[in-house]
Structure 1
């Protein structure tokens, strides 16, 4: 294409022949050894063996012509260039005028050739697409555009919407007044001259650096507005109303953090806070379920004893009625001890050693609950450097006798130590 760019319909576009100074007409000769300025000769001077200064008649040469096909047979390079120039002059789609300017092709031939090779050609279409994308990226760095599907509002001057948009002008993709609008005033009287002292020169350089920092801040604010879509503030607020009330409150409270993160990161930041509230709600439900399971374990421990079961029912009835339960003591005479708990098939049994299995059978404690209580006591003992029985009872909300047995067992086995 660099060679084709040198060809044109007008012979005056090319330099004259170096031999006879006549205007060159294709084909003509270009010396391949003389340079950097081209040494051109017409065919007549070339056949006579014209020599001038460093140019010799035996130098290598190139035949310059555009009479050869480029894209398809029947269309020379000269005609390709003429077609592109005609489309540029007459406009795309005005094929009658394009053909009249070319003179060698009909309007049907011009249209068919141009659509086939310059519009529907994958090579040219991909190149044009990349150029459009590059142009869009460059525009995004300077302007604050809307999406192609958006219709940017065009409010009247000094209207409420114009004030909400901070004087944004869609036709210019810029603001009527910039941030720090008078930053340039500090530079209007600065002039660098040769007889400035070193201190004065350094002072002027410092003022220019300050001005550059103010320009960077101006561009930073524009980028925040562009990335978060804050030009049309009412549309932005309408989109926020689609969120639940608690998420809207989070957006309002966390809006100031949008300046330090991108729009996608900011949305994830808000959603993570919203999910944290959901987590707390689910956690409370999980704790309630855990307390119910502990209560059921207590029921299973006393259900084999009729008097203990009645005592537990009286206690729960008093709690439900909102009064302090009266603890009724029953004599243990004639009380039948509960049989050992069968651990076969219970989850967590495989994680226990033989002594721990014996403890769970005697205390009638399922292995999963024992392992949970054991880990809680180990963590507290490691944190405190020791553990007292009262602390163990505060951690494990089960029967105090079972807590005592678990505590003594862990002390005996060396898992924990007394404070």
Structure 2
């Protein structure tokens, strides 16, 4: 009656249902009944050893041991640590091994780097490029099932009236699910004076019917445009732009050029079209990279790694030489040197002694408290933009349970120093917490 199977599961007990016996949070390893269902019947080891029974569950049922404490790719690395390593690299960035090791806490910096390079970079089955291509293929296969990234039931943002976000949304009113001004907003004016009477001539009656038919066609066009906006998720412009930024530059240009054709096909077909071109660009880039390696006589991934490092060093040296040539022309010309020094001094003076921003009359100022007003004045940020950035950071912090400075900088595309000041201010005031 015993069936023992090892499963990979999350190490966070708050991600699992509580024990059915004592209602405590489950900690690996724990027991899952293999016969009770469809909802999982989970027990901690203490309740399992006591032979806990409840309704249909009996102590002699088959069971499964839920744990992730077993090696997957090599001894010394459990499945739980493999998942933690991938999540840490995704959060901290490739190459930032000190922060990766700090986030894992069970491995050193050298162990994290060596294991990742051996099993996910230099291993052809898990190379970064192939992994990216596999993720793209998975996304294409999921697109057929999940349809579009936006659904009609998504709650769009509710900006204040006459704000920049409201203008970007073309006056959309979320409470009414309608626009303040419709497409072809004065189409009804052509009907306001039409009245069908019995003594109309046949020609006049036909003209009036033709005007009504034209009005119906204009209404159909209005509804067609609304359907395109709803299906493709064009209401939330900022969210739509964030999704666009995940593509490389050449795919973004293609996205802008092909947006006008989104009305011809549905959202699924349009997303498939863009994703297929993304895959094509990735393949072309990989082919060019491999061709470059072949021209240079490189035959292994280790050799390619050395070549890339030497190539970066060579480009840095070339950049330094070009910079030195630019400086030498100022040194030989005393007048040009003086002008350049005055220009640099003026730039430093403006950066160091920029006066505080005057918030009088700016929209959104009334929504700020005194400390927020002081921040906007010092950082020289208009209140409307600050409120948008604050809401974006709050939503991301609420979604992930914490927020790091690197994540804040990826969300807010402004000067990094301003982003740090906003992030530190929100941390200090208790609006968000660090991850």
Shift of 1:51: 0.4
Cα deviation code 1:340-362 (max 9, x no counterpart)? 99999999999999999999999
SS of corresponding position for 1:415: coil
CA contact (8 A) 1:29 1:46 kept: yes
Cα deviation code 1:8-32 (max 9, x no counterpart)? 3322222211111122121111011
CA contact (8 A) 1:152 1:170 kept: yes
SS of corresponding position for 2:352: coil
The corresponding residue for 1:159 is: 163
Moved more, 87-96 or 385-394: 385-394
CA distance in structure 2 between the aligned counterparts of 1:289 and 1:152, rounded to whole angstroms? 50
CA distance in structure 1 between the aligned counterparts of 2:431 and 2:122, rounded to whole angstroms? 80
CA distance in structure 2 between the aligned counterparts of 1:407 and 1:83, rounded to whole angstroms? 26
SS of corresponding position for 1:303: helix
Cα deviation code 1:222-263 (max 9, x no counterpart)? 999999999999999999999999999999999999999999
CA distance in structure 1 between the aligned counterparts of 2:163 and 2:112, rounded to whole angstroms? 52
CA contact (8 A) 1:184 1:211 kept: yes
Shift of 1:392: 92
CA distance in structure 1 between the aligned counterparts of 2:100 and 2:231, rounded to whole angstroms? 44
Cα deviation code 1:356-412 (max 9, x no counterpart)? 999999999999999999999999999999999999999999999999999999999
Shift of 1:96: 0.4
| Cα 1:283/1:197, change in 2 over 3 Å | farther
Shift of 1:43: 1.1
Shift of 1:131: 4.0
SS of corresponding position for 2:419: helix
| Cα 1:309/1:396, change in 2 over 3 Å | farther
What is the number of residues matched between the two proteins?
395
CA distance in structure 1 between the aligned counterparts of 2:330 and 2:41, rounded to whole angstroms? 114
Q: TM-score, normalised by structure 1?
A: 0.32
Shift of 1:119: 3.0
Shift of 1:214: 11
Shift of 1:89: 2.5
CA contact (8 A) 1:9 1:78 kept: yes
| Cα 1:203/1:272, change in 2 over 3 Å | same
Shift of 1:161: 28
CA distance in structure 2 between the aligned counterparts of 1:214 and 1:354, rounded to whole angstroms? 50
CA contact (8 A) 2:32 2:65 kept: yes
Shift of 1:57: 0.9
| Cα 1:97/1:22, change in 2 over 3 Å | same
Shift of 1:36: 1.6
Larger-gyration structure (1/2): 1
CA contact (8 A) 1:346 1:367 kept: yes
CA contact (8 A) 2:233 2:240 kept: yes
CA contact (8 A) 1:144 1:226 kept: no
Moved more, 94-103 or 260-269: 260-269
The corresponding residue for 1:339 is: 355
CA contact (8 A) 2:144 2:268 kept: no
Q: Stretches of 4+ moved more than 6 A in 1? A: 137-273, 275-319, 335-419
The corresponding residue for 1:286 is: 314
CA distance in structure 2 between the aligned counterparts of 1:395 and 1:28, rounded to whole angstroms? 39
| Cα 1:69/1:138, change in 2 over 3 Å | closer
Structure 2, unaligned runs of 5 or more: 1-9, 278-301
Q: TM-score, normalised by structure 2?
A: 0.31
Cα deviation code 1:183-206 (max 9, x no counterpart)? 999999999999999999999999
CA contact (8 A) 2:68 2:80 kept: yes
| Cα 1:231/1:280, change in 2 over 3 Å | farther
CA contact (8 A) 1:294 1:398 kept: no
SS of corresponding position for 1:211: helix
Structure 1, unaligned runs of 5 or more: 1-7, 320-334
Cα deviation code 1:32-75 (max 9, x no counterpart)? 11112111111111111110011111111100111101111110
CA distance in structure 1 between the aligned counterparts of 2:402 and 2:11, rounded to whole angstroms? 100
CA distance in structure 1 between the aligned counterparts of 2:25 and 2:400, rounded to whole angstroms? 102
Moved more, 398-407 or 28-37: 398-407
CA distance in structure 1 between the aligned counterparts of 2:361 and 2:86, rounded to whole angstroms? 86
Moved more, 371-380 or 252-261: 371-380
The corresponding residue for 1:56 is: 58
Shift of 1:113: 1.3
The corresponding residue for 1:190 is: 194
